[in-house]
Structure 1
Amino acid sequence: MNADQLQTIEGLMANIEGLARELPGSNPIPTCPGWTVDELVNHLAIVLSRMQVRIETNADAEPNTMPSGPPIGMPHYEWLAESYRALKETLLAHDMDDPAWNWTGENQRVSWYLRRLAHELAIHLVDLDAASPTPSRPETLGIDPLLAADGLDELVTVFLPSRARSTPQPVDQPRRLTFIPTDGVGRPWSIELNHQGLRAVDLEGSPDATVSGSSIELYLFGWNRPTTGLSITGDPATVQSFSAIPR
């Protein structure tokens, strides 16, 4: 496993565990309406456990074989910590090129999960922090511009295209949305929204809408999290169609 990637994941997980222990489990998560701290921590534990099974078996986990909550008497944050330790052991025991099933149907390798894990943790760390009395800036949580730029790349080339295929887009014709990082980190991205879903496209030509901002703000916007300092121009319906794709 790449040492830098592991260090990033370890830092994100340490911050998540700290917040999960510190915050009351009943605190609402403003960025995930209807969820509490305990429910978000439970979600993360389940996701990490499924990742472990998929890597170990190279197959999807059978839903009825996966626990839906911690053992009786175990706090949610302890179950999450155990789930992470087990997943980390599995990752360290495999080569990054080892086969591992994932739901996109592409890049069926362990390395896919290392990247997905980093961004699953990063976005939900932002969510947990939002339940704090005094939320922090993403940078202080361990989310730097390089991680954010990679996260936007993963979102528009891996995560959303597979999700959008099963969600017809309410567009009368193909629409193009361009993301422009203003901090010099990462690269601009253009995506096309059409009836079949979403795909990354060349930057040539004029987009129907443009979103400009720092890599971190674009990352948060892409995941439908609150942002500040963005510049959004062009067709509002194009932006709305992008935001409506399930995350």
Structure 2
Amino acid sequence: MNLLDVLRREADMLAMSAIGQPPHKGVPACPGLNLGETVRHVGGGYRGALAWIRLGREPVAGEWQDHPAPGEDPLEFMRSGAEAVIAELEAHDEEEPCATWWPDRQDYGFWRRRLAHETTLHRMDVQGAAGMEVGAVDDEVAVDGVDEVLTLWLGHKLDVLGVRGSRDSLVTIQVEDDLWLTRCGPQGSAAWRVVDPEDAHAADAQVSASPMTMYRWLWGRLPDRMVTTVGDDDAIAQLWALLRLATK
């Protein structure tokens, strides 16, 4: 799987899906978010990633452009941001060291992965807002996206935010033959792939779905009825609530 190719393809699809669409159209899966703000957010995110890379640290306000300039078309703002960050990522091997916001991965591969999933997620948002059929995601990409949201956002971002669960619970995430265990509670949150399926039997609950459905559900884009749940509903509700705080 070449995540740079995924990023390039998804950025093109997002732009094409937004052409001619009124910016005020709401994203059905995210009340309060509209198509125009989504396009703007993606364009700003590309520039924010470039600032991280070029500065070698987290950029502060004013060191990167997060909104179109006066008179600049938001779609062109998004497209030019995509072109710039893709060119930067193409110029470096994914294993080459690079500043990121995840201590576990300080290389260009982090940004390839992060921006590929950011773009894929918001491409689906734009298509939903435009009233289009949401295009499918390759299973391999979706499974990698499941791993990213669990390990990076649940397992790292919540700790950075200082957010904790109210009770100890283990929830298994199952996507066909792939399994993850998530632990949430007063001591923090973590997620890891399960090597031995027997380890999943210790969980309080399990959530199962196809790759694309789980990908979208974990990001809050699909309701609970789209996934299969077994076990402690409160444990699943806590996982869901913590994911919303991590990914907002």
Q: Which residue of 1 aligns with 2:66?
A: 68
Aligned-CA RMSD value = 1.8
Which of 210, 215, 239 lines up with 1:214 in the alignment?
210
Task: Please identify, of 88-97 and 144-153, the stretch whose mean Cα deviation from structure 2 is larger.
Answer: 88-97
Amino acid at match of 1:234: G
Q: Is 1:107 matched up with 2:98?
A: no
Give matches, 1:4-153, under 5 Å: 4-133=2-131, 135-139=132-136, 143-153=137-147
Q: How far is 1:170 from its partner?
A: 3.4
More displaced, 194-203 or 23-32? 194-203
The 5 Å alignment of 1:171-186 reads 171-172=166-167, 174-182=168-176, 184=177
CA distance in 2, matches of 1:110, 1:6: 10
| Distance in 2 separating the partners of 1:160 and 1:11 | 27
Residue 160 of structure 1: which of 154, 161, 164 is its match? Answer: 154
Q: Distance in 1 between matches of 2:175 and 2:229?
A: 12
User: Are residues 1:200 and 2:191 paired?
Assistant: yes
Partner SS state of residue 164, structure 2: coil
TM-score, normalising length: structure 1: 0.89
What is residue 232 of structure 2 aligned with on the other side? 235
Normalising by structure 2, we get a TM-score of 0.89
Q: One-letter code of the match for 2:56?
A: N
How far apart, in 2, do the equivalents of 1:31 and 1:95 lie?
35
Distance (Å, rounded) in 1 between the aligned partners of 2:113 and 2:147? 11
Counterpart residue identity of residue 27, structure 2: I
Alpha-carbon distance between aligned partners in 1 of 2:47 and 2:187, rounded to the nearest angstrom: 32
**Corresponding letter in the other structure for 1:164:** L
1:58–1:99: 8 Å Cα contact kept in structure 2? no
Residue 61 of structure 1, CA deviation: 1.3
Most deviating of 152-161 and 198-207? 198-207
Query: Is the contact made by 2:4 and 2:86 (CA closer than 8 Å) also made in structure 1?
Result: no
5+ long unaligned stretches in structure 1: none
Contact 1:152/1:219 (<8 A) preserved = yes
**Counterpart contact for 1:168–1:196, Cα < 8 Å:** no
% identical aligned pairs: 23
Q: Which runs of 5+ in 2 are unaligned?
A: none
* Counterpart-to-counterpart distance in 2, 1:103 and 1:29: 28
Query: What secondary structure sits across from 2:154 in the alignment?
Result: helix
What is the CA-CA distance between 1:149 and the residue it aligns to? 0.4
